[in-house]
Amino acid sequence: MTTEAFEIIDLSAMGEDFVRNPYPVYAELRKRGPVHRVLLTDGIPAWLVVGYDEVRATLGDDRLSKRLENASENANLGFEPLGSHMLNTDQPDHTRLRKLVVRAFTPRRVAALEPRVQQLTDELLDAMVADGARGADLVDALAFPLPMSVICELLGVPYADREEFRTWSNFVVGPAPYPEKMEAMEEVRTYLDRLIVKKRAESGESGESGEGGEDLLSGLIRTIDEDGDRLSHDELLATAWLLLVAGHETTVNLISNGVLALLRHPDQLADLRADFSLLDNAVEEMLRYNGPVETSTFRFTTEPMEIGGTLIPGGGEVVLATIADADTDSDRFTEPERFDIRRDARGHLAFGHGIHYCLGAPLARLEARVAIRSLLERCPDLALDAHPAALAWREGMLIRGPYRLPVSF
């Protein structure tokens, strides 16, 4: 078990090349060992875990806490959360919160959304190719508005407010300065406070009469489980924010990264066009090959613990599992650098592992399948309209995807 002093690797000093393509850096670190002391791109010191087996074990290790109050002062996280939600709580609170939300994301309920997802996709593609257009930014035209529209409708958030949520989300999950993060969080809190009060009134929860909406947020306000438990106002607010962010960020970048992979591998694109029965498997390979989540959210040590032969101190040290590296580990996937829509990509960690496995994974998969098939059918001459090296990628180490994806058709 290793306990000696670690060299601190400054990932923030690696510049645009690391943002554009972090995989070679992670692969080199993996050759040296599974755990490394790093300075993240936002300046936070952390223990970075690489390698499939170690990352999977870390994601499922209940000795690591997700509660921000368990973080050490050195973590310098930069902002306070809106409240308790599934992603920043441990057992038993996590189970309680997830149980009250999970019924909205069952496979049956998600499958019932497919006609509406298809309708929204068709409308967006109609607008994209209207008036003889020969090109577009696929992020703005399809990859962002589709999942944002779906999650706004599902939660009962006015679609007209989607751009505000996009801005807030970029500030909160990206490497924005502390004052901007705080300002965004306060704006989110004010907006959701008002929305919840409005929906309580519509649901008759405030002493007023009301029929209540059929949307998820109204349902969460009314939901009482068999033990008489229900979400508090702060829990509703935090859960709504989590679902809005997680409900679109993953899918935006799944669609963008997936289409980019197809356009950069014309043989695979041709195979998919020729046989759309490969689509489900192709989406899994997109998730593995260049998934939308580069690293996990932070976990904190509650006691000294060993990971991959390295002893990590207790006291709230930040531990970060590198999902992008796990899914390109040659010990787990043969020729991981090769994009192959026929590959058996099962077991990838793009949606996490353990109790915090992504609740919205079935919805993300559905939206990606509908969006990508419809796009390829509608645009038979689809091509990348920029050199891959010229694409600007999102900063930070949580969400991975290009800001823009210019395409011609």
Contact 43, 76 (CB under 8 A): yes
DSSP 399: B
How much is the pLDDT for 79?
A: 55
How far, in Å, are 39, 145, 251, 386 from residue 397 at the CA level?
12, 23, 17, 24
Q: Exposed, middle or buried: residue 150 (CB in 10 Å: 0-12, 13-18, 19+)?
A: buried
Place of tokens 């519509």: 202
Check if the beta carbon of residue 58 is closer than 8 Å to that of residue 214: no
The whole-number pLDDT of residue 228 equals 63
What's the pLDDT score for residue 209? 34
User: For 331, how many CA atoms within 13 A lie in the half-sphere containing its CB?
Assistant: 12
* Residues 409, 135 contacting (CB under 8 angstroms): yes
Walking along the chain (409 residues) 10 residues at a time, the average pLDDT comes out as 71 92 97 95 91 98 93 70 84 89 82 96 96 92 94 86 80 73 83 87 55 74 68 86 86 97 98 98 98 96 95 96 98 98 97 94 96 98 96 93 97
Give the per-residue pLDDT at 248. Answer: 87
- To the question of pTM greater than 0.75 for the whole model, the response is yes
Return phi, psi of residue 400, to 5°.
Answer: -120, 125
In the chain, the amino acid numbered 5 is A
Least Cα distance to 150 among 316, 408, 371, 329 occurs for 371
Q: How many helices (H) and strands (E) does the chain have?
A: 16, 11
In this predicted structure, what is the pLDDT of residue 186? Answer: 85
Q: Tokens 């008489």 correspond to what residue?
A: 228
Domains and their CATH numbers in the chain: 8-408 (1.10.630.10)
pLDDT of residue 148: 92
Q: Backbone phi, then psi, for 296, in 5-degree steps?
A: -70, 170
Cα dihedral across residues 164, 167, 171, 174: positive or negative: positive
pLDDT for 55 equals 98
pLDDT of residue 240: 87
CA atoms within 13 A of residue 147's CA, in its CB half-sphere: 31
